[in-house]
Amino acid sequence: MIIKHRNEPNVLIIMRLLNARRYRLSANEKNYLSNLEKGWKGEKKFDECQNTFSNDWIILNDLLLEHHNNVFQIDTLLINENLHLFEVKNYEGDFYIEDDKWFTLSGAEVKNPLFQLKRSESLLRRLQQSLGFNYSIQAHLIFINPSFFLYKAPLDLPIIFPSQINRMINELNMNLSKSKDKHLQFAKHLFSIQLKESPLHFLPKYSYNQLKKGIYCAICYTFINSCNKSILVCPKCGHKEKVESAILRSIKEHTILFPKRKITINAVQEWCKIIESKKTIRRILSKHFILKNHGKSSYYEYPSENSASE
Ligand SMILES: [Zn+2]
């Protein structure tokens, strides 16, 4: 049973928005964004396999934990009589190993992903001991992309290739304990001590003025030039969206990028740029938000704390 699902990482959402709004990402930042997208796709793909895990497994996805100031992240953790920790990689193409080093076929050295796996395993072991648990832990490095190949991989590495995932799950599903109390207690413990914001991620120091204003197509990110009816049509891909939904989507973005900026009719008009009618904006804001104050100092708030981040 999955007790924690994976959410799209905030850093990915923000980087994607910055890119869409023409923030000038450096080559490194672009690379970072593309790695985040790739990693996220890989993890989603692994999640699709998760319904074949026995219901006796307690599954926690995307845990961000800390032990003695060492932050570590676990892509997926399975809990039963023992723990299985998974690190998912969406590598593509051919790689080879020489001693402890990993290379692409063109000879460029890449980080050895087994170091990260070992570090997480060791930190999790010490963390659980400090919480009074003593599970044995097995760590696995999953390569999820079928176009990945690793030459000269020693047999004893904890690596699972795409064609082995189903077999691994079948094996893991055997001989499981039905009693869950202790394991649930452990899972809840981990759940409660999770970190909220990852200090491992970096974001460019963007500002409001650096971003392009307007409404862009939700499918292809092309900016829409004008709005004359209640439907917006993308000039590039033809995607249609109701003005109301496009404005709400843009306000949500505004809140994610600038949580401290207040939502006002003027702010929304400036941010969306192509909505000429203040009346339309007021109508939509009154319908979906709560008006605070009156007159010049009035602004709108999301009805509940969570709705902005859904
Ligand atoms: Zn489009």
CA–centroid distance, residue 241 to ligand 1 (Å): 10
Q: So what's the pLDDT on residue 305?
A: 59
Specify the pLDDT at position 286: 96
Which pair of structure tokens corresponds to residue 99? 């001693």
- Quick one: pLDDT at residue 226? 87
pLDDT at 199: 75
CA separation for the pair 80, 74 (Å, rounded):
17
Q: What's the 246 CA to ligand 1 centre distance in angstroms?
A: 12
How far is the centre of ligand 1, averaged over its atoms, from the C-alpha of 216 (Å)? 8
**pLDDT given for residue 309 in this prediction:** 45
- pLDDT recorded at residue 2: 92
Whether the Cβ atoms of residue 158 and residue 139 lie closer than 8 Å to each other = yes
Residue 175 Cα to ligand 1 midpoint, Å, equals: 51
The predicted pLDDT at position 229 comes to 79
Ligand 1 geometric centre to CA of 220 (Å): 4
Please give the pLDDT value at position 138: 98
- Distance (Å, whole) CA 5 – CA 45: 13
pLDDT of residue 310: 41
3-to-69, 84, 304 alpha-carbon distances in Å = 26, 15, 24
Express the helix, strand and coil content of the chain in percent, nearest 5 each.
40, 25, 40
50 Cβ partners below 8 Å, 6+ apart?
2, 59, 61, 76
Of the candidates 111, 80, 107, 81, which has an alpha carbon nearest to the alpha carbon of residue 96?
Answer: 107
Rounded to the nearest whole angstrom, what is the distance from the C-alpha of residue 233 to the centroid of ligand 1? Answer: 8
pLDDT tens per residue across all 310 residues of the chain: 999 999 999 999 999 999 999 999 999 999 999 999 999 999 999 999 999 999 999 999 999 999 999 999 999 999 999 999 999 999 999 999 998 999 999 999 999 999 999 999 999 999 999 999 999 999 999 999 999 999 999 999 999 999 999 999 999 999 999 989 999 999 999 999 999 877 777 899 999 999 999 999 999 999 999 887 789 999 999 999 999 999 999 999 999 999 999 999 999 999 999 999 999 999 999 999 999 998 889 999 999 755 444 4
